[in-house]
Structure 1
Amino acid sequence: MAVITINNEADFNEHILKSDKPALVDFWAPWCGPCKMVGPEVEAVAEMYEGKAIVAKINVDENQQLASEYNVMGVPTIVVLKNGKEVNRIVGYRPRKELGAALDGVL
């Protein structure tokens, strides 16, 4: 399963909030160096957790309202949600093992 690109709040509601699976959401920006480094790690996590969790990316420049709602102060910020509620947050680059461990905590 590929990483889902969230383009707006309707996408977010549909793919993340209405899902019965936990979600790992990468808040990123195209100008952010560490975001480019964490991208392949997020994609690897999407493959590792296919069928078990939703993995999505949100461009904060294009979705400032969502970034604000989730108090994203810096990028990359990775938020883990279960039943629509934030259960974990990782700020900055982390390898796939740590990202996966954050999801393991809610599976």
Structure 2
Amino acid sequence: MGYAQVPLAVDAFNQKLADTPQGQLLDVRTPDEYEQGHLAKSQNLDVKDPVFVQKLATLDKDKPVFVYCLSGGRSGKAAKLLVDNGFKEVYDMQGGFLKWSSAKLPFEKDKNAIAAPTGMSQEEFNKLTASNQPVLIDFYAPWCAPCKKMMPTIEKLTREYAGKATIKTINYDENKALAQSLQVDEIPVFLLYKNGKLLWRGLGEMPEKEFREVIEGNM
């Protein structure tokens, strides 16, 4: 085949990887993320490392490369860099490690990895969302580009709806157990609660108008 960047859903990625014994598996997250959990036989090259492209020299351009990150943003960037640098066959996992782990597919964790922060407990979350005012939850990560783009909107809404609605940002990296219990497998994700009930769920970059409609429609 020619030079190609092929997006694959988690199940298809898993099957294609199993069917490609000569495949090279690349985890492009940070070393800290990698330690907390990664696919077996994967190599960790942080796509945000200034020398990422130079480090690609350790890979064989003539063999397929399978690439993933946490939710898909960084792997997409890495896959493009791979193709641009002469790799002929590049498979990009859609949804990343979040989707992989939520699908209960196997992964490894470094034995000496420092335990990830447990973050907010389910009890604390339940107490937060039990309010009779709307409660908008924003699951984000500081490295997530769409999350960063949405933050000014979230901060603006937080100020404007003070006293009328609660808007809470929750760092995914520090609250993985809670995220998993809420079936959060993509970020940013927005959850609107009232009286402990989930009333609305939004995903990705969204217009400010939609947030206003959802919040005001549930006051």
TM-score by structure 2 length?
0.43
Corresponding residue number in structure 1 for 2:170 = 58
Identity of aligned residues (%): 39
**Post-superposition offset of 1:91:** 0.2
TM-score by structure 1 length?
0.84
**Post-superposition offset of 1:96:** 1.9
- Which one of the candidate residues 6, 9, 12 is aligned to 2:125? 12
Corresponding residue number in structure 2 for 1:4 = none
1:27 aligns with 2:139: yes
- Alpha-carbon RMSD across the aligned residues, in angstroms, is 1.5
Corresponding residue number in structure 1 for 2:214 = 102
- For residue 56 of structure 1, give the secondary structure of its aligned residue in structure 2: strand
CA contact (8 A) 1:42 1:99 kept: no
CA contact (8 A) 2:130 2:194 kept: no
Higher relative contact order (CA 8 A, sep 6+): 1
For these two proteins, the number of residue pairs brought into alignment is 100
CA contact (8 A) 1:44 1:96 kept: no
Q: Partner amino acid for 1:95?
A: P
1:79 aligns with 2:165: no
Q: Partner amino acid for 2:158?
A: A
Counterparts of 1:43 and 1:96, CA distance in 2: 11
CA distances 1:33-71 after superposition (whole Å, capped 9, x unpaired): 000000111111112211110000001111011111221
Stretches of 4+ aligned residues off by more than 4 angstroms? none
- For residue 36 of structure 1, give the secondary structure of its aligned residue in structure 2: helix
Gaps of 5+ in 1: 1-6
CA contact (8 A) 1:77 1:90 kept: yes
Higher Cα Rg: structure 1 or 2? Answer: 2
Counterparts of 1:28 and 1:92, CA distance in 2: 10
Larger strand fraction of residues: 1
- For residue 212 of structure 2, give the secondary structure of its aligned residue in structure 1: helix
**Post-superposition offset of 1:11:** 4.4
